[in-house]
Amino acid sequence: MPKEYAFPELMTFEESKELLGTWPENNQIRHWIDPTEDTIIYKQTGTLGDRPILGAIKKNVFMDVDYEEIKECLMSIDETTTMRANCAGPIDTDELDRMGINYELRTKNSYKTIDDKGRVSMIAQGNPIHSVMMGYKRGRFTGKIDKSGWSKANPEKNDILSRIPQINNIAYRELAPSYYEAQKRFAETYVEERFRIAGGIYTTLSANKYSQGGSQAMSYHIDSGDLPEGLTTIANFIDGNINGCYFVLPRYGVAISRGDGDVFLGDSGEVHGVYDVDGTGTSMNCVCYCDTRLATLGVRGKPEKLIGKNAPKVETGSLEGFF
């Protein structure tokens, strides 16, 4: 039987949203949890019935032949992105000024560059963070659902990492079976099989790297596209000496460490972030989730509505484009 905890909220959900975009801090954490065995952390609601899961850990899930190959593949990823502004912390405007970048702030976590002719860029960006998206996504400017650019450019690595979801499901089915079944029903009912990784219950993966020489933390955010009745599952790998890198849920004052080969389950609809990493090694995790924005079937689906150059051609003189 897994070890169990239950914690009450320290603030309302709306109050926790005031922390969005800021870094996790020590004084926001009341419960530091370092699991040595399978563990489930519940939200203490004060009501009868099933207690909602805040987070859970299954230890040593990745321990067979898949462990070495998947870990080596993940550790080889070193790309950064500026497209995850909400996860990458507040913009240091003094640093932008020192770099001679002409810009306008969009939010405290993002900005748009301005060129020599005074034209403002269409796309906002944030601080660089070591993170890549794999699997499927809906194009912001095309409306098309397709493989991510990284998955297309790295087919061999993509195939290796596509094994992670099925291994994560060992923990998911055991520690949170009702959440697993709810996600399975949603995925199989509303998301076309071709948009699900290996035909399973996830559409998208995100690989995140933490180290002293790279991204050291992740600012508070909410994964708004994730399935609310499901959980996010995260495969965790550590190379070398690492401390910190706790998964933090400030509404409940909880910080949870994740060991090498562990699978973590978390409610990504809660405000969450990653606490500063400490040590000379590297922590790498692969987040697996079902992006509801990729649903195209049934009452919860939206068909691909292609826009821009991908939009269907309308005959000259036709009024079709106006409706």
DSSP 90: -
Identify residue 311 by its one-letter amino acid code: A
Q: Which residues pair with 58 in a beta bridge?
A: 263
How many domains would you assign to the chain? 2
Phi, psi of 299 (to 5 degrees): -70, -20
Task: Report residue 218's pLDDT band, with 50, 70 and 90 as the boundaries.
Answer: very high
Contacts of 88 (CB under 8 A, 6+ apart): 82, 109, 126, 127, 128, 129, 215, 218, 219
Nearest 5°: phi and psi at 266? -145, 155
Shared-domain flag, residues 280 and 160: yes
Residue 203: strand, helix, or coil? coil
Same domain, 118 and 227: no
User: Quick check: is 220 in a domain?
Assistant: yes
The answer to whether residue 310 sits within a structural domain is no
- The answer to whether residue 23 is domain-embedded is yes
268 is a domain residue:
yes
Residue 51 lies in a domain: yes
Assess whether 266 and 211 both reside in one domain: yes
How confident is the model over 71-113, as pLDDT tens digits?
Answer: 999 999 999 999 999 999 999 999 999 999 999 999 999 999 9
For the stretch 257-288, pLDDT in tens is 999 999 999 999 999 999 999 999 999 999 99
Q: Are residues 148 and 116 in the same domain?
A: no
pTM, two decimals, is 0.92
Name the DSSP class of 252. Answer: G
Same domain, 233 and 149: yes
Q: Based on the domain organization, do 79 and 103 belong to the same domain?
A: no
Check pLDDT > 50 for residue 320: no
Task: Give residue-wise pLDDT tens across range 131-187.
Answer: 999 999 998 778 889 999 999 999 999 999 999 999 999 999 999 999 999 999 999
Check whether residue 105 and residue 227 sit in a common domain. no
The predicted-structure confidence for 36-53, as pLDDT tens digits, reads as follows 999 999 999 866 567 899
Domain span at 119:
92-126
The CATH code of the domain that includes 155 is: 3.60.130.30
Cα angle 37-160-143, degrees, rounded to a multiple of 5 = 105
Query: Is residue 60 one of the residues assigned to a domain?
Result: yes
- 113 lies in the same domain as 163: no
